[in-house]
Amino acid sequence: MKKIVLFMLVLVFVSTLFAHDAWMRFPLMGAETPEDDAGFRADYMSLGWWGADYGFHLDLSTGHGYNDVAINLAHAFKTIPIGPVTFLFGKDEVPFGRITNPSGFANLNYIRGHWWGSHIRNTEWMFKFKGDVAKVNWQVYLANEYNYWGTETGTEYSAMNAGLKLGYNVAGADINFALKMNDLNKVNNVAGEDVDIDGTMDWAFGADYTAAEMVALALQVATRDDGNDDTDDLGYYVILNYAPGFDAPVVGNIKPYFGYATKVGAEGNWNDENDMFFGLNMSPKDNIRIKLEYLMESDMDDDSLDLVFGFGF
């Protein structure tokens, strides 16, 4: 464990010479905590380079000890302005539901809810158009998504997806709606054979609002169609954050938050299981973020405690 921590710290130090931001997650308690030199997962450390018209983001991990480093390309995109519209191509997040800046540094204040489909790391490529019309911001996209867990399930395929996302601000509240059409090519490779599958469609509704400049509320209701009419596809999350925070020595401004999120259970229903989490977001400096989060998962025997550091350069 000490070698892993030392290796991560050295990587962050080296990254200050060329990266725009870096963040590290240290599991202090729970099932994901590395033991000895077992390695760390891809979401334990990230390096990002972000510009006005490009983005590049790497996840680093080790499979067996710190000498075996795996690098995962999470983002690599370029944007081109075309009149009032911006065109994006490359590897980026599918704009489904509540999306924030893709930078890990910027996202430290938000739940890392991968089950919501907002951070899809297995997108191979994407074409996206986005712009604004009459105070409505919009995005439409076409993406090729690779089933990265196919080697474990025996189902390996590339799926063509398309969708749109609309956003609008009314009375100080940011409202968004997203629609995602999955498996447009309707071909699934199972054990080396092509099998026709039915396409599915998901939708999401989200809102962000700060009441009386005190309590920031973020919520989302969404569906994930699994193609099974006997399962419940509706899920939701809510996050409450003390917006102004309070100041403390050394750690700077502290913003406590609480959240609740449903997730898919063993029977395939999206609300059979849930996560509850409590945390503190701290900002000792303008370019430093620290997060301490306690997570309780209904389908896990042990709770987890994570410490996250983010640095902007």
Contact 250, 213 (CB under 8 A): no
Instruction: Specify the pTM.
Output: 0.80
Backbone φ/ψ region at 94: left (φ over 0), alpha (ψ -120 to 50), beta: beta
In a domain, 307, yes or no: yes
Q: Provide the 8-state DSSP code for 231.
A: S
Task: Supply 210's token pair.
Answer: 């700060």
In a domain, 69, yes or no: no
- For residues 106 and 53, what is the distance between their CA atoms, to the nearest angstrom? 17
| Closest by Cα among 88, 124, 121 to 104 | 121
In a domain, 67, yes or no: no
Q: In the chain, pLDDT over 70 holds for what percent of residues?
A: 70
The pLDDT value recorded for residue 265 is 73
In a domain, 47, yes or no: no
In a domain, 41, yes or no: no
Backbone φ/ψ region at 171: left (φ over 0), alpha (ψ -120 to 50), beta: left
In a domain, 201, yes or no: yes
Q: Please tell me the total count of domains within the chain.
A: 1
In a domain, 15, yes or no: no
The residue written with tokens 């925070």 in the block is 245
The whole domain housing 190 covers 76-286+293-312
Is 295's pLDDT higher than 60? yes
SS3 sequence, 254-265? EEEEEEEEEECC
In a domain, 178, yes or no: yes
CATH of the domain at 268: 2.40.160
- For residues 161 and 173, what is the distance between their CA atoms, to the nearest angstrom? 29
**What's the pLDDT tens digit per position in 121-138?**
456 688 999 999 988 999
SS3 118: coil
